[in-house]
Amino acid sequence: MIVGVPRESFPGERRVALVPAVIPNLTKAGLQVVVEAGTGFAAGYPDADYAAKGAKIVASRAEVFGAADIVVQVLCYGSNDKTGKEDVPLYQRGQVLIGFLRPLGSIETIQEIASKGVISFSVELMPRTTRAQSMDVLSSMATICGYKAVVLAADTSPRIFPMLTTAAGTITPGRVLVIGAGVAGLQAIATARRLGAVASAYDLRPAAKEQVQSLGGRFVELPIEAKDAEDARGYARAQDETFYKRQRELLGKVVAESDVVISAAVIPGKRPPILVTKEMVASMAPGSVIVDLAGERGGNCELTRPGEIAVEYGVTIIGWFNLASTVPYHASQMYARNITAFLLHLVKDGKLQLDWEDEIVRETLMTRGGEVVNPRVREFFSLPALPAAPKELAKT
């Protein structure tokens, strides 16, 4: 089988789906790799490196799609709302498509992908289990984003992070508050601590307390309890507006005392809750910084402008998204390792093996045979349930 890697077409996207180092592992599994010329250049991976590892370099995107049994991308059509639609005419019936597909975004886009007869896998839907840990792309990219958010904040802030004792006296350490202690939030805490800041974190999930403290952060406990704080996949559940109103009241004092706020509270398929109001921003000291990692979906801060930097009440609010693309070398390396593990899980003896009883296949498979087949996606969009799928979906 041939695995094709086209160049990412989303404006400003510098990552690549496979890096040269993973190609020998795919070759051993009976897979050939075809790469569009220049695909890895922006991430620091020249064509010569791919060729040296056994990949075939082709001149055009159409050649990649024309030759590939499996196409791997970072941002497929669905997550790429700028240029992704241009790939649709290149899809072939029975071709496998793997990457970010934004499965809980637009049902019309998903159905358009399905109508082409492709077998698509959405990496966002990867289960967070021990078996799937090596394939967990979301965690890999969140790790990069948490790191970069703190680096951005440190570069923007007029204050330094570490405590220093100097001939000019002692400089107090910076105070960083992280809201949402998921993978990105935990990496933000670790990075802030490495830079010498005093790090605090809040999360509505009680289980996050131990993780925050293990990284040297202070867990902010509020006298308010969430109902069913997390779902079976470990993600925070949405709460009612009464809860969020009380939460904002209690968080106000902590935000006002912080030099930097990193917000990373995201709920899959829903708009992020507003946790930092304009009144809270106004209470912060001039020069303070907010990095809103939920900016792409609207933001946790009321004053966030998605994709932009805003200055309100003397506070800089960074609403950039796709931060992982700003660290493309290692983001691509991590993504490629995850995708390689997934490919080796799907392909046995040089053939695609899809077992509906396998949780990894069942939860990530989004379209097949012209239909949207993912149960979670169908439920989210209130589509009628499909007949039970056979255990063995395909052997090709």
Catalytic residue among 47, 81, 111, 128: 128
Nearest to 212 by CA among 262, 246, 247: 262
Q: How far is CA 150 from the centre of its chain?
A: 17
The three-class DSSP label of residue 354 is strand
Concerning whether 244 is annotated as a catalytic residue, the answer is no
Q: Is 134 noted as a catalytic residue in this protein?
A: no
Kindly state the DSSP code that residue 16 receives in the 8-state scheme.
-
Give Cβ neighbours of residue 232 (< 8 Å, ≥ 6 apart): none
DSSP structure class, residue 265: -
Query: CB of 92 within 8 A of CB of 22?
Result: no
Q: Which residues have C-beta within 8 Å of that of residue 71, sequence separation ≥ 6?
A: 3, 4, 5, 6, 64, 65, 95, 96, 97, 98
Active-site residue (options: 69, 87, 136, 259):
136
Of the candidates 224, 252, 253, 223, the residue with the CA atom closest to the CA atom of residue 239? 224
Q: Is 133 a catalytic residue?
A: yes
Q: Which of 81, 159, 235, 283 is catalytic?
A: 235
235 is catalytic: yes
Q: Is 107 exposed, middle or buried (0-12, 13-18, 19+ CB in 10 A)?
A: middle
Question: How many Cα atoms sit within 13 Å of 98 on the Cβ side?
Answer: 28
* Crossing angle of the two packed helices 183-194 and 137-156, in degrees rounded to 10: 40
Indicate which residue of 139, 305, 313, 358 is catalytic: 139
Question: CA-CA distances (angstroms) from residue 25 to 20, 53, 55, 121, 335?
Answer: 10, 10, 12, 21, 15
Phi/psi for 229 (5° steps) reads -60, -30
Active-site hit among 133, 213, 214, 231? 133
- Ranges of beta strands (E only) in the chain are 2-5, 32-36, 56-58, 70-75, 96-100, 119-122, 164-166, 169-171, 175-179, 198-202, 218-219, 260-263, 289-292, 309-312, 315-318, 347-348, 351-355, 365-368, 371-372, 392-395
In single-letter form, the type of residue at position 303 comes to: L
Distance CA 175, CA 196 (A): 10
* Catalytic residue positions, numbered: 128, 133, 136, 139, 235
